[in-house]
Structure 1
Amino acid sequence: MELLTDRPGDEGLPGRERVAVMAALMTATVMVVFDGTVINIALPKMADALQVSPDVAIWFANGYLLAVAMLLATFAALASRIGFRPLFLSGLALFTLASAACALAPDAHALIALRVLQGAGGAAVVSIGPAILRFAFPSRLLGRILGLNALLIAASTAIAPIVGGALLDAWGWQWLFALNVVPGAMALAIALKAIPAGPAIVRKPFDIPGAVLSAVLVGALIMAADRVMKPGDGWYALAALLAGAGFVWRLRRAEQPLLPPAIFASPRFSFAALTSMAAFVGQSMTFVALPFLFQNVYGYGASETALLLMPWPVGIVLIAPHAGRWADRMSPAMISTVGLSVLLAGQISLACLPAQPQVWDIAARCLLCGIGFGCFQSPNNREMLSNVSREHSGYASGVLAIMRTFGQCLGAALAIVLSLGRMRGTPRRLAPSGETV
C-alpha cells in the first residue's frame, strides 16, 4: 500500500504511524460531517417530541453550525499555541461527550445548548484536520490523502439522510446523537497514541480581540445571509461590516494577529482559497435550488428528491481519490480548473433540463456535477496547503474550513433569494402530468 511506503527524504511520520493518524482523523471528520447533515431530516419529529415550534427546532441544526463556523479561525490559531495533539483530543472528547448528552437532553433549550458545545468540539476537529494530514504525510502523498478525505466526506453526506431516516423510524431522534459515542471513543483511543504534537509551539500571546472579532464577523455574516429577505434584520449586516473592519485593522496592527498575514503572501494560496469559496457557493446554490425544482415544478416527493440528488455525492466519491493522485503528479491548479469546468458544464445542463425530464437524465446531470466538484476539491486543497510552510499549516487548514463553511452558507442564502424572487414572478408550476397549475 502506497500510504504505508517510506521513501528516502520523506518528511512527516513513518508509514504505519501516519496510517493510524489517518484512521483517527477521518473517523472524527466523518462524525462531525455526518452530524451536521443528519439532523435536518429529524427536525419535524424532534419539534413534535420536544413540543416546540419549527422556529425553535431549527436551532437544533443552526446552533451546531454557527458554533463550528464561528470558532474555526480561533482553533486554527490556538493550535499553534498548544499543539495539534491537545487541541484535537480535547475537541474530539468534547464532541463525543456532548453527543451522549444530546441523546439524554431533557428539553429543547438544553438540547440547543448541548448542540453548541458539540459544535465547539467539532470545530476543533475540522479546523486542524487538513493541517494534521499535511504534517503527518509527505508532500508526494498529500493530494492522495486529501482525495481520500474528500471521498469520505462526500460518502457521509450521501448516506446521512438514509441512515438518519432509518434510525429515526426505528428508535427515535436520540439515537442520531448516541450513534457518535462508540466511534468517538474508538477514534479517541487511536488518537491518544497516534496524533502528533505538530510544529513547534509558538510562545507568544494569543490574540483574544482578534478571536472575538473573527467569531462575530463569521456569525454575523451567516445570520445576515440567512435573513437577507427578512425586513428589520439589517443589523446583522452592520455587525458583520464593523467586525470585518475591526478584524482587518487587527491583522495589520497587532503584534501577533490571529491569522499571520504571511500565509496570504503567496498569491497561489490566496487564489486557491477564494476559488474554494466560490466553488462551494456554486455547489450550495445548486443543492438548495434543485429541491425547489424537483418538488415544486416536477412534482416529486421529498424522499424521491433525496434519491435524485444522490448521484452528486456519488460522483465526488468516484473521482476525488483519483484527482488527489493526479494532483501529486501534475499541476493541481490545472486539474482544479478542469474540475470547475466540468462542474459548470453540469450546472448549465441542469439549468437546461426539459419540462418533463426522465429520471436517468436528471441523475446523469447531477453525476456530472459531482464528478466536476470531486475533480476540483482535493487538488485545490492540496494547492492551498502546499503553498504555506509546515509551521503555518494549522492556519491554512482553518482558512480552508472557513472558506468551505461560509461558501456553503452564502450559496444557500443566494439560492433562497433567487428562488423566492422567481416564485413571486412566476407563481405557476407543472403538475407531474405536465399540466400547468
Structure 2
Amino acid sequence: MGGVKCLTASKRRWVMLCILLGLGLSSLGSAIVNIALPNISRSFASSDAAAVWVVNAYQLSATICLLPVASLAESLGLKRVYAAGLAIFILASVGCAFAPTLPILVSARLIQGAGAAGVAVAGVAFVRVVYPHRMVSKGLALVALAVAIPGALGPTIAAAILAVAKWPWLFLVNVPFGLAVPLFIAAAPPDLRVARSLDLTGTALNALAFGLFVVGVGTLGTGDGPIATGEIVAGLFCLGLFVRQQLQHPMPMLPFDLFRIPLFTLSVWTSVCSYAAQILAYVSLPFLFETSMHLSAVETGFLVTPWPLMTAVTAPIAGRLTIRHPASVICSVGLTLLAVGLLLMVFLPTAPAKWDVAWRLALCGIGFGLFQTPNNTAMMTAGPVGRSGAASGMNAAARYIGWSLGSALVSLIFGLGGDRGAISCMVAAMAFALMGAATSSARRFR
C-alpha cells in the first residue's frame, strides 16, 4: 500500500491514535445516547416512540451510507474520506447539543451517522496503509479494542455525565476530539486510489430501500397503517431495483461473489439477527428502568453496564475458543444464552433488587460476547484474502442493518404496546436471538 515505506514509527502512532479516537467516538455515539432517551423525551415533551428516533436516525444514516462511502473511499482515497467523516461527526455533535427541537436533533443525528459511516469504513481499511503486512493483525486488534471498550463503557460514561450535567453534554464531550482531524491530515500518508466514479443510481436506490423500509416499520407504531404499508412496500420495491441494478453494474457496491459462499451469507444473517436483538434490548431497557422501576438516569446507566462489560470480557475468550472449536457452535451457544437472559428479564419480579437485574444482564453480555468474535472471524475468513475489504464492509453493514431494524421495531412496539412496550421489546429481542442461533447452527451443514 502506498505510503507505508515513508511512514516512521512515530507518525504511525499518531495516525493510529487518530483512527482509534474516531472509531471509539463512532462506537460511543451508538451506545451513549440510549440511557438519556427518557430525559430527551421529557425535555421536548415528546412520546417515547418519537424519542427513539434519536437512536434510529443515527443507525439508519450510517446503514444507508456504508456502501456508498466504501465506494467513495476507493475513488477519493481513504485519507480524505476518514478526515471528512470525523469532521462531519464532530460538527454534527455540536448540532445535536444545541438542537432546539426534537426534529432538529434527529436531523443532526442523521448527519452524525453519515460521518460515522466514513469513520467506520475508512478507519478500519486505513490500518493496511499504516502498517506493513506483518503488523496488520496488531493494528486490527487495536481497532477491535477501540470499538469494544467505548461500547462497553457507554452506559457508564452516560451515567457519569448525566450525574453532573444535562443530556446535551453527551454530545459536547465529542468536540475536543475534533483536534484529531488536522493531526490526522498532517501525519497520515497518501493512499492508493482507484479510477471509479460514484454509482449515483445505486446510492439513491440503496438510500430509498433502507430508508423507506425502516421509516415504514416505525410509522406502524403511530397507528397510521396505510401510510406505513405504503412505505414498507415502496422500500422493498426499491430494494429489488437496487439488487437488479447492482447485478448489471460492472463494479457493484454489493459483494455478490461473497454472497455465493454459504458460510459468508449465513454469517451475515446471524449478525443481522444478533444486533437487532441487542439494540431492541439496549434501547428499551432505560424505559423499563426509569419508567417502570422509577430509577434515575444515573442508576439506569450503571445497571445496564453488566451487559456490555461482560461482552468485552468474554469476546477475547471466545476468540481463543474459535481456534479449537467451530465458530457455528460457539455462536449458537452464545445466542442461546442471550435468549435465556432476555427471557429471565421478561419474568423479573415486580420489585426486583438491583442484583436480580445485574446478573440477568451479565448473562446476556456473556452470550453476546460468545457470538461476536467467532462470527466476525467466520465472516472475514469465508472469502479470499483479496476480498477482505468487501467482507469488512458487509460486516459493518450487517451490524448497522440489525441495529436499524431493531431500533425501528422499538418505535413500532412502543407505539402499539403501551405500558408493556419495554417487556414486549425483550420478547422480540429473544426471538431474534433464537433466529440468530438457528442460522448459526445451519453453518455446521455447509
Same fold (TM over 0.5): yes
Tell whether 2:121 aligns with 1:127: yes
Tell whether 2:178 aligns with 1:181: no
Q: Is the 8 A contact 2:312 2:369 kept in 1?
A: yes
Deviations 1:269-308 (A, max 9, x none): 32222211121122233445556765777x4535444433
CA distance in 2, matches of 1:295, 1:52: 16
1:76 to partner: Cα distance: 1.5
CA distance in 1, matches of 2:171, 2:30: 11
Aligned to 1:434: none
CA distance in 2, matches of 1:389, 1:21: 28
CA distance in 2, matches of 1:36, 1:161: 12
Aligned partner of 2:273 among 256, 272, 278? 278
Residue identity matched to 1:71: C
Tell whether 2:263 aligns with 1:268: yes
Q: Is the 8 A contact 1:281 1:410 kept in 2?
A: yes
Q: Is the 8 A contact 2:64 2:207 kept in 1?
A: yes
CA distance in 1, matches of 2:416, 2:42: 31
Tell whether 2:151 aligns with 1:154: yes
1:128-277 to structure 2, matched below 5 A, reads: 128-133=122-127, 136=130, 138=135, 140-141=137-138, 144-145=141-142, 147-166=144-163, 169-170=164-165, 172-185=166-179, 187-193=180-186, 195=188, 197=190, 200-229=192-221, 230=223, 231-232=225-226, 233-277=228-272
Aligned partner of 2:309 among 314, 330, 333? 314
CA distance in 2, matches of 1:38, 1:424: 24
1:370 to partner: Cα distance: 0.9
The farther-off stretch of 109-118 and 234-243 is 109-118
CA distance in 2, matches of 1:338, 1:182: 40
CA distance in 2, matches of 1:344, 1:85: 41
1:91-130 to structure 2, matched below 5 A, reads: 91-103=85-97, 111-130=105-124
1:261-410 to structure 2, matched below 5 A, reads: 261-288=256-283, 290=285, 299-301=293-295, 303=297, 304-324=299-319, 330=323, 334-335=326-327, 337-352=329-344, 353=347, 355=349, 358-388=353-383, 392-410=387-405
1:415 to partner: Cα distance: 5.8
Q: Is the 8 A contact 1:221 1:240 kept in 2?
A: yes
Q: Is the 8 A contact 1:28 1:184 kept in 2?
A: no
CA distance in 2, matches of 1:97, 1:289: 28
Structure 2 stretches of 5 or more lacking a match? Answer: 424-446
Tell whether 2:68 aligns with 1:71: no
Aligned to 1:24: 18
Q: Is the 8 A contact 2:258 2:391 kept in 1?
A: yes
Residue identity matched to 1:165: L
Deviations 1:92-115 (A, max 9, x none): 122223333544556666555444
1:90 to partner: Cα distance: 1.1
TM-score normalised to the size of structure 1?
A: 0.77
1:158 to partner: Cα distance: 2.7
Residue identity matched to 1:378: T
Residue identity matched to 2:145: L
- CA 1:301–1:272: 2 relative to 1, 3 Å: same
- CA 1:342–1:247: 2 relative to 1, 3 Å: same
SS of equivalent to 1:227: helix
1:17 to partner: Cα distance: 6.0
CA distance in 2, matches of 1:336, 1:20: 38
Count residues in correspondence. Answer: 407
CA distance in 2, matches of 1:419, 1:46: 16
CA distance in 2, matches of 1:104, 1:418: 29
CA distance in 2, matches of 1:425, 1:323: 35
Structure 1 stretches of 5 or more lacking a match? Answer: 1-9, 429-437
- CA 1:424–1:362: 2 relative to 1, 3 Å: closer
Percent of pairs with identical residues: 31
Residue identity matched to 1:126: A
TM-score normalised to the size of structure 2?
A: 0.76
1:424 to partner: Cα distance: 9.2
Aligned to 2:79: 85
- CA 1:324–1:145: 2 relative to 1, 3 Å: farther
Residue identity matched to 1:204: R
SS of equivalent to 2:355: helix
CA distance in 2, matches of 1:64, 1:409: 9
CA distance in 1, matches of 2:195, 2:353: 61
CA distance in 1, matches of 2:411, 2:122: 31
Q: Is the 8 A contact 1:139 1:386 kept in 2?
A: no
CA distance in 1, matches of 2:411, 2:256: 35
1:312 to partner: Cα distance: 0.2
Tell whether 2:27 aligns with 1:33: yes
- CA 1:202–1:335: 2 relative to 1, 3 Å: same
Q: Is the 8 A contact 2:303 2:358 kept in 1?
A: yes
CA distance in 2, matches of 1:344, 1:256: 39
1:60 to partner: Cα distance: 4.8
Q: Is the 8 A contact 1:143 1:324 kept in 2?
A: no
RMSD: 3.8
Q: Is the 8 A contact 1:30 1:153 kept in 2?
A: yes
SS of equivalent to 2:266: helix
SS of equivalent to 2:310: helix
CA distance in 1, matches of 2:380, 2:9: 20
